[in-house]
Structure 1
């Protein structure tokens, strides 16, 4: 297919509102639209799932909870002495986890945030024990900070979101990891996302599931010696702790479901249509199922004769069915992870032009491997040296 008939996926978008990077007005979408107006623009699916979680976690009580967890993890990880104390406390108090350290909360890597919250819940009691140790044995600053964090973690307003977020993250973590795989089959992933959305929908009003999670919450409060009483502000809105728990539980899950539907419905529509032409799927479809694709790109085709289009589809279907299964292509997507391999700590001052050149070399590595390195070095040696200082080597 020609360049004007491609499926483009933005795997470099870092921010939902980053119009400079991927916006329709002045970003990648706009540049692409000017060159190939019929190319389909699709957000990176892994990034879309990240934004789903970001939106759900914008609920104020959840946002405050994440701030507390982040500060506690940074406090402990900032000192080798504190990290060592945490490891010792884990060895003395629990054998249920192989984890010996907390996982840092990364702002842009939500797969890691899944792991971070799950591990934090597993080590919650150990973290409190560690903080209590530094309250009694730390210097004045350390003791003060540890005391503040210990009060926050033993507050019901931290315990409620921890149990609820951990429950949802245990469900979405596998999908986030699946979307990061280099050989990710998007068709299967979108079906999995749909299943996850349906499962979350059942959780909202499934009283048995809610009761089981609330019982887990009760045990968590007992083990961690957290008072099961609402704060004065919260008590004005809810009569009981379970009412408060239920409201946060259903609101958080509903926000996740709504955002999954909004961000993945268009993805699914586009990919599902194009995927019908993939050899592994084409056996299940007829020309009538893909005729809209021919209509969409009719200006790029040599003819608008429907009979010829159907003949080409039938020929492609026959050819596809003769392919060995191992050689059949899939609708896959690569996550944008090459940047962290290119712009390392040793190249942290790389300019835009050089960074772009390095990215092109990485993308077309098959061509780069064919280059004669000795010839390249000879050409560089013949050129005029442009290095003005040692800093240019960065």
Structure 2
């Protein structure tokens, strides 16, 4: 309480309606990296108060197990390695935060998202090349402020706990710079390179040309033909030639038709084509549009499934069989649909 009053007087934290929500620790979500970034920022800003609470629990916890856990957490969070990892993740998630937010929006702006991929790669490379000294200075300053011992980088690294085998002797500098800093940054770069290879990026940029916003400003016939070429089983060489002519008519038609003036997203475009029966007039364009709609849905379904696995297959259910896991995943992912089903119908079904 005393530390909180002192922080209020010094301006480290603010008081007022709703401000406690902004300065409270928030549990990170399993499927949103932005929540991890916010949690890290709040943990850094509230670090002395977290330590204060853990010290209180250590002394006055309800039981010995709770007090022992608080004692362990105090030892962990007041170590240089924890603070180093905390700031490293803060710097990395700060780089990719805008990209994560852009990819999570319902109205994904693919062109800007792909630009953010390039920006994220460049910033991560800059961190790898020039960010070590800045990170070490930032961590050391935080540790000095909170009375955490900063190890001498030239000394031999000593890991926490006892190792069963004789570990190779390395310096603190090698451990923190090579084994942690370089490896983490390299993994992030590799992840971006694997997910957004040149072909995938080009495919997404081609799909963006179907966006009907601003009177179909993004429509590009050459890009859409290139998109069709990604699907050789759907578009033969003859159909590609027919698509070329069909796209010219389609572009002029929809830009001059008031029914298509206020559309927002390719989903709305597909609905309007069906309503106006232009899906029959331009069958190849409509096929291209359906393929573009299916791609992000399939990708999102896979991402949702892997994210849901972290929730369903927890530590207490880690021996779950594949069939039961699949059934649980379907029920969890499509829970909005299952909520509409009456329990009596389920009982009758079984």
TM-score range for the pair, normalised by the shorter chain length: 0.5 to 0.7
1:267 counterpart = 2:188: no
Residue 327 of structure 1: aligned partner = 263
- The 8 Å contact of residues 34 and 101 in structure 2, kept in 1 or not, is answered as yes
Structure 1 residue 262, shift from structure 2 partner? 0.1
Residue 165 of structure 1: aligned partner = 89
Alignment of 1:231-270 (within 5 A): 231-233=157-159, 236-238=169-171, 240=173, 243-247=174-178, 248-265=180-197, 266-270=199-203
Query: TM-score, with normalisation over the residues of structure 1?
Result: 0.56
Point out the more displaced range, 249-258 or 284-293.
284-293
1:220 counterpart = 2:126: no
Residue 82 of structure 1: aligned partner = none
Structure 1 residue 351, shift from structure 2 partner? 11
Measured at CA, do residues 162 and 355 of structure 1 come closer, stay the same or move farther in structure 2, by a change above 3 Å?
Answer: closer
Alignment of 1:165-184 (within 5 A): 165-184=89-108
Higher relative contact order (CA 8 A, sep 6+): 1
SS in 1 for 2:184: helix
- The 8 Å contact of residues 209 and 220 in structure 2, kept in 1 or not, is answered as no
Measured at CA, do residues 325 and 173 of structure 1 come closer, stay the same or move farther in structure 2, by a change above 3 Å?
Answer: farther
Residue among 24, 49, 53 paired with 1:126:
49
CA RMSD of the aligned region, Å?
A: 4.3
Quick one: distance in 2 between partners of 1:352 and 1:277? 31
Query: TM-score, with normalisation over the residues of structure 2?
Result: 0.62
Structure 1 residue 353, shift from structure 2 partner? 8.3
- The 8 Å contact of residues 90 and 100 in structure 1, kept in 2 or not, is answered as no
Structure 1 residue 171, shift from structure 2 partner? 2.1
Quick one: distance in 2 between partners of 1:253 and 1:312? 47
Residue 225 of structure 2: aligned partner = 291
Quick one: distance in 2 between partners of 1:173 and 1:296? 30
1:321-351 residue CA offsets vs partner (Å, 9 max, x unmatched): 44777436358968678x99xxxxxxxx999
Residue 57 of structure 1: aligned partner = none
- The 8 Å contact of residues 118 and 169 in structure 1, kept in 2 or not, is answered as no
Measured at CA, do residues 356 and 169 of structure 1 come closer, stay the same or move farther in structure 2, by a change above 3 Å?
Answer: closer
Structure 1 residue 260, shift from structure 2 partner? 0.7
Structure 1 residue 293, shift from structure 2 partner? 3.7
Residue 9 of structure 1: aligned partner = none
| Unaligned ranges ≥5, structure 2 | 14-18, 161-167, 267-291, 309-326
SS in 1 for 2:196: helix
Residue 313 of structure 1: aligned partner = 247
Structure 1 residue 276, shift from structure 2 partner? 3.1
Residue among 339, 349, 359 paired with 2:337:
359
